[in-house]
Amino acid sequence: MPPYLDPEKTKVDGLAFIGLSLARRSAHGHPDAVTHQTSFDLNEVIDRKYDMVMSSNDDGWLVGGGEPGPPETYKLAAKDSAHVEIMRIGTYRPEWGGIKENDIVDAMRSGKILIPEILVLPTAVVANPDNPPELEIRFDMDPPLPNFDDDSAPLPVNWALRFLHNQLFRYFQFPSRFCPGAFHSTILRKAEFRSEEHKAAYFSHCDAAIQKWHLLGPQPLNNGGWDIDGKPLAEPSKNNSGLWLFLDRENITHFFPPNFLPPYDTPEKRKIIFEFLKDEWDEKTLSWKPIGTGASNTEGIEKEVEAKDEAKEKEVNGSTTVDAGPLCGSTPFWC
């Protein structure tokens, strides 16, 4: 069962969420796909010709432009739906455990949720613990513990995701609230490889893309100032890498631009940032714990990465071919 805030009051599951869009139109994908970022070409971490992957569920590749459908591919035709969930809403019906859409939109536009200029960097491509697994691009905070004692020290890679996640979780209190395995983007479900050798080759291919992206460092999304439909924003600015409200992974309804702008190295801004980075949400106990002490919801992912690294090493060695009203519990400290 998903780690809902209140499972007993969650009557109907749903797919609405707040998150990032990594959608990008591609000549290899669905003709109706739209572009929301050009910082990362996710075709670099997929096996569209199925040289290494043998099968998946009927969705096929969710990223890299999506699936064009027959006669190009015989998966379900679908637009690129690459995304990273920050907070699952579920439904807009409070009687089902959700929250009204207007309450979400009003809060996001009120300035009580601080949205930075979001810079992200993929940290790994992994197979999750499912059997058969999902293939996921990870966007973990690295290092996992910020330097809380030095305002001049660089912030961790992908800090903005946890900063937003923790704000949203502290602000919104409704039964169906959760986050399905922060922080990742699913690229393929029920992935089965042709062999262990093909699996190793696929992840080696992905590692090369990750290393190339790391040379460039964290990048903004929505770097072209695009709106929901892929057309230019009516009022673009220098900082457009914000958040999106999704009805489901294929349907975005709202864009929320950054309102907490760089630079982020002043004492005032570091105080705000660290206030939300010092804790993490423990899915098992449904409570807050100091960062680094809570039960990690990426434990299985970390074991998968470790196993992959061990296998790679063996191969190298030749041993194997704020006033929130009813929506939140307290007034944000900066109000």
Tally of structural domains, the chain? 1
Q: What is the pLDDT of residues 77-92, one digit of tens each?
A: 999 999 999 999 999 9
Residue 318 belongs to some domain of the structure: yes
pLDDT band at 306 (very low <50, low <70, confident <90, very high): low
Residue 322 belongs to some domain of the structure: yes
pLDDT of residue 292: 84
Q: Name the DSSP letter for residue 193.
A: E
Q: What is the pLDDT of residues 308-324, one digit of tens each?
A: 455 445 444 443 333 33
Q: How many CB atoms lie within 10 A of CB 43?
A: 18
pLDDT of residue 301: 47
Residue 2 belongs to some domain of the structure: no
Task: Give phi and psi for 66, each to the nearest 5.
Answer: 85, -165
Residue 331 belongs to some domain of the structure: no
How, if at all, do strands 119-120 and 16-21 pair?
A: unpaired
- Asked if residue 333 has pLDDT above 90, the reply is no
Q: What is the pLDDT of residues 195-254, one digit of tens each?
A: 999 999 999 999 999 999 999 999 999 999 999 999 999 999 999 999 999 999 999 999
Q: What range defines the domain where residue 98 resides?
A: 7-326
Task: Write the burial class of residue 293 (CB in 10 Å: 0-12 exposed, 13-18 middle, 19+ buried).
Answer: exposed
Residue 286 belongs to some domain of the structure: yes
Q: Which amino acid is at 87?
A: M
Residue 334 belongs to some domain of the structure: no
Residue 124 belongs to some domain of the structure: yes
Residue 181 belongs to some domain of the structure: yes
- Asked if residue 190 has pLDDT above 50, the reply is yes
